[in-house]
Structure 1
Amino acid sequence: MHRTWTTLTQLLYDHGPLSERHDPWSPDPGTGADRVVAIRRATADDWRTLGRLAALDSAKPLTGDVLLAVVDGETWAALSLDDGRAVADPFRPSAHAVELLRLRSQHLRAAAPQRPAPRRLPLLRRAAG
């Protein structure tokens, strides 16, 4: 029993969540190549991709204004600018992609022109008469 536990523990350290594996954004350790990440707005041509991501994430598809995180030509995550919902590929290390989408969303909101608050006119009371 002790040997089995030791073997399992060693496997976790070598290959599982306890390992110090390479950065998930790097495609292959030792190649020196970095992943290409693009954040862009979804277009009408992306409806299939949005549906696939939503299905993988067991969520409703995003609608409206949507940002996509495309990693090496594959869409890993999407974020609705309308309601802030995100969907992501659970089979990819997509948490960082969602963080990038949220950060970009904040930048877009901050850069949006601020509408002036509507001027409120004082209420006029009808003279009793």
Structure 2
Amino acid sequence: MRFEELPGLSVSVDQVVYLPHMMAPPDKPHPFAYYLSIHNASEETVTIVGRKWIVKDDSGGTLVVEGDGVVGHTPVLQPGQTFSYNSYHVISEPSIAHGTFFGQTDEGTPVYVRIPEFKMELPE
């Protein structure tokens, strides 16, 4: 299956927040919440069916996370609609995340939209 970029479909990183009070595993003790919005300014109805995240830390380590839907949902975005949500990453050191959402138009065309890169930096 070949995915194509859909003009007018975009993602914004609305906020990234360090949450030291959240529980996290000892090997990745730094939790960050991120808030994203998927905007559909195209003329197509799009269903978001999957995602892929790439998280790279300052030491060169890379984590790839793939899955179905978005936070347990497969949002349907009509033209002009936005889907906003939040989730989190836990990291061991300062990291950069970016990714891709995968979708399908009502006509069955597989589409994708890039998730802009954002930094998760530990407070000093």
The question of a shared fold, defined as TM-score above 0.5 by the shorter chain, is answered with: no
Structure number with the bigger relative contact order (C-alpha 8 A, sep ≥ 6) is: 2
TM-score (ref. length: structure 2): 0.25
**Which of structures 1 and 2 has the bigger CA Rg?**
1
Indicate the structure with greater strand content: 2
TM-score (ref. length: structure 1): 0.24
Indicate the structure with greater helix content: 1
